[in-house]
Amino acid sequence: MLATLTRFARDYRVVEPSPEGELGADVIWLDLRSPSAEEVRFVERVLGIAVPSREEMQEIEASSRVYEESEALFLTATLLYHADEPPPATTEITFVLKGDRLVTLRYEDPQPFRTLKSRLERTGAGLVTGQAVFFWLMDQIVARLADILEKTDLEVDTLSSKIFGAANKNGKRSGDQPDLVDTVERIGRSGDTTAKLRESLLTLQRVLLAVGVSELAAVGNKKDTRTRAKALVRDVQSLLDHTAFLSQKIGFLLEATLGLINIEQNKIIKIFSVVAVVFLPPTLIASIYGMNFEYMPELSWPLGYPFALALMVLSAVLPYWFFKKRGWL
């Protein structure tokens, strides 16, 4: 992947590096995507910070994901991407707030970042500090996760309708039955997406809580910073509650689908059992008349063969009639 370091000024234009290799005073956001070692050294020099490595970003300890160092606040969140094309995946993105500047470090390209330029041109008015850009990005990320959650919820509702809507009023399965194996696979994909969504939301919640209490995150009006952080935390919490409900629903659908698979298998075993019982008496009669004894009365009887056939048919029909009368078929 091509390494890029994009500098955004207050008018949202991409700023080229100066001949002296310095950072312009109007640059408020540096976006590093799969940066080279030279680009990392440049950011570390101009901002006086130590940029975390990819391995450090992937550590799960809270102290490795949210910390303060060199008068900068380091925040690492796990974001979901490729949600529109299964299988979904997650990636770590680090946000660094230093003074009135923001640095983002990432190795993938989630949708909020892919569309950032066009969205900045439409809705970026008033983004004059790195903190404002940070909250703008958080808004876009939370909105994207909400869209993914809504899409997953719709997929689960569709699966539920197919699973429980294939029975008619008599309680029998209709002809338009879903492919249960395919249904299990789709439920599994929805469960995987929901689990990754919950992971992303939990890390975002941790990041936003840290921003709300850190003095380094507040530039200018500290009350406004904390208010915006709390508002986003409430949004994230509502999505977390929805993912918990959706996870329970997915678990219920999975159990129901596996139960339907067991019912279908039991029906097959039931058919084989009935067939075996129905043909058992004719087999017994055929075995009796197939014995090689010299003296058997029916051997010299002209109607012996038709009698044996009629007896075998009758012995097969009677068990079938009995099972049908008892409602076992």
Domains 4-264 and 268-325 share a fold: no
Each residue of 156-170: pLDDT tens digit? 888 888 888 755 444
* CATH class belonging to 268-325: mainly alpha
CATH 3.40.50.970 for the 4-264 domain, yes or no: no
Q: What is the pLDDT of residues 28-53, one digit of tens each?
A: 888 888 888 888 888 888 888 899 98
pTM: 0.76
Neighbours of 267 (CB within 10 A): 11
What angle in degrees, to the nearest 10, is found between the helix axes of 304-325 and 222-289?
A: 150
Cα distance from N-terminal residue to C-terminal residue, the chain: 63
Whole-number pLDDT of residue 119: 66
Beta bridge mates, 90:
80
Sites in the chain below the pLDDT cut of 70? 1-25, 117-126, 166-178, 218-221, 328-329
Q: In the chain, what percentage of residues exceed pLDDT 70?
A: 84
Average pLDDT, the chain: 81
Domain chopping of the chain, boundaries:
4-264, 268-325
pLDDT reported for residue 121: 65
- E strand or H helix at 197: helix 180-213
74, β-bridge pairs: 67, 96
Q: Are strands 72-81 and 66-69 parallel, antiparallel or unpaired?
A: antiparallel
